[in-house]
Chain A
Amino acid sequence: MTVEIAETVVVGLGQLYVKKSPSILVCLGLGSCIALSAYDPSTKAGGMAHIVLPDGTGRTDQASPKYATSAVPLLLSEMERQGANRSRIVIRMSGGAKMAGTGALGAVFKIGESNIEATRKALADSGITRIAGADVGGSHGRTVKLWLDTGRLAVTASNREQIEL
């Protein structure tokens, strides 16, 4: 009997990975960033994007997955390349916290809200009308983990119990 060991892939800032079961995808210590996850229960293909900024308009690297506007179409097309059907893809998102910020520094930490908005808009623009689960906003850090063998997605935070989306 062969036992396949699940590979854990850490999705770093601005990165995007699409893998097949039994990999585990994880975004560690999210603050204002968004972990956008996609999963096809039929093919057990799944992906995760670690979105840092809302959009890269006017920038030379605007196709980078660090921007919500490019991460969403990239994630969906990579999922389809792995055999996923767009109609079956389960979308979940987490992150977008405002860790702190009033006065002069408010704008720095407002980026979380902008990331949430931009991600939702980019999903709608790509024809995704249903977000199956979302744990966004607040003022705490999060770690997000997606198991591709089952599609289970867990969000842990330093100040509360783990939740599943």
Chain B
Amino acid sequence: MADPKGSEMSINQVARAPDKNDDGDRWARLVFDGINSAVSGLSEMVGQEVSVESLNPRQEDATRVHDLLGGPETLIAGVYLGIQGTAPGQLLLAFEPATAFKLIDMLMMQPEGTATEIGEMESSVLGEMGNVMGAFFLTVLGDNTDGQLLPTPPLVINDMAGSVIDAILAQMMLEADDVMAVETKFGTADMQIEGAFLVLPSTALIDLALRERSAA
């Protein structure tokens, strides 16, 4: 059933050369390119092919955003990055804790099952991964707009999804009760890694993305 408040878009629809005059398509195309770039950064880091499984840009009631992460009480390992520069926004990379442990083991080249909790070292590894993905994503957005966009240093938070995201949403609810959220699922072919990459842009960031880039 179609969601009256949102539009679900498959990767193929996004990738099929959208109409340049359509704002939704321009935003979706930029996000798609950015997220593909971010996921390719993750692939390089873990040494495995990771691909985007679904990409859903949608207008979402702020009070429902935690549902995109499995519900408010779902335990997640989240890496939060603010977007700073020409226009603000927020990025959240979220994994189930078991997936985060697998990623940490891969990145630290240690046997699977070694990481069992998120301590200082593990937080640092996840943060670095978020940093790479955020930087790759924002480079694409910046290169295709007139903006200078940079990620803040990452914050790793391991707790209930609702508690991880409510302070972030509080910032966004100062602008509006509906937020533009981009829900992305990515993973490896053997499902070893599955995660969500949430893009929560400010109104200013969407405006920036929708403006045609001025001639150099």
A residues neighboring B (CB under 8 Å): 12-15, 28-33, 52-53, 59, 61, 66, 97, 99-101, 103-105, 108-109, 111-112, 140-143, 158-159
Give the distance to chain A from B203, nearest Cβ to Cβ, in Å: 15
B170 pairs with A33, CB closer than 8 A: yes
Secondary structure class of chain A's binding surface, majority of residues: loop
14 extra interface residue pairs, beta carbon distance < 8 Å, beyond A99-B157, A108-B82, A143-B73: A12-B63, A29-B73, A29-B74, A32-B166, A32-B167, A32-B170, A33-B166, A104-B82, A104-B153, A105-B80, A105-B155, A108-B167, A111-B170, A158-B75
B63 pairs with A31, CB closer than 8 A: no
Interface size on B, residues (CB 8 A): 33
> B124 on the interface (CB 8 Å rule)?
no
When chains A and B are docked, how far (Å) is the Cα of A59 from the Cα of B167?
Answer: 19
A29 pairs with B66, CB closer than 8 A: yes
Residues on A with beta carbons closer than 8 Å to the beta carbon of B84 = 104
User: Would you mind naming 11 contact pairs between A and B with Cβ atoms under 8 Å apart?
Assistant: A12-B63, A13-B62, A13-B166, A28-B162, A29-B66, A29-B71, A31-B160, A99-B167, A105-B80, A111-B170, A141-B160
A53 pairs with B173, CB closer than 8 A: yes
Q: Which of B152, B162, B170 contacts A29 (CB 8 A)?
A: B162
B173 pairs with A30, CB closer than 8 A: no
B residues neighboring A (CB under 8 Å): 62-64, 66, 71-75, 80, 82, 84, 152-153, 155-157, 159-171, 173-174, 177
Give the distance to chain B from A68, nearest Cβ to Cβ, in Å: 12
Residues on B with beta carbons closer than 8 Å to the beta carbon of A66 = 173
Give the distance to chain B from A22, nearest Cβ to Cβ, in Å: 23
A29 pairs with B171, CB closer than 8 A: no
A30 pairs with B167, CB closer than 8 A: no
Residues on B with beta carbons closer than 8 Å to the beta carbon of A111 = 167, 170-171
B82 pairs with A143, CB closer than 8 A: no
When chains A and B are docked, how far (Å) is the Cα of A33 from the Cα of B171?
Answer: 12
When chains A and B are docked, how far (Å) is the Cα of A127 from the Cα of B76?
Answer: 40
When chains A and B are docked, how far (Å) is the Cα of A140 from the Cα of B155?
Answer: 14
A141 pairs with B80, CB closer than 8 A: no
When chains A and B are docked, how far (Å) is the Cα of A51 from the Cα of B168?
Answer: 14
Q: Which of A15, A103, A104, A141 contacts B162 (CB 8 A)?
A: A141
When chains A and B are docked, how far (Å) is the Cα of A59 from the Cα of B72?
Answer: 27
Closest chain B residue to A99 by CB distance? Answer: B157
Query: Taking each of B62, B74, B170, which has the highest tally of chain A beta carbons within 10 Å of its own beta carbon?
Result: B170
Residues on A with beta carbons closer than 8 Å to the beta carbon of B164 = 31, 99, 141
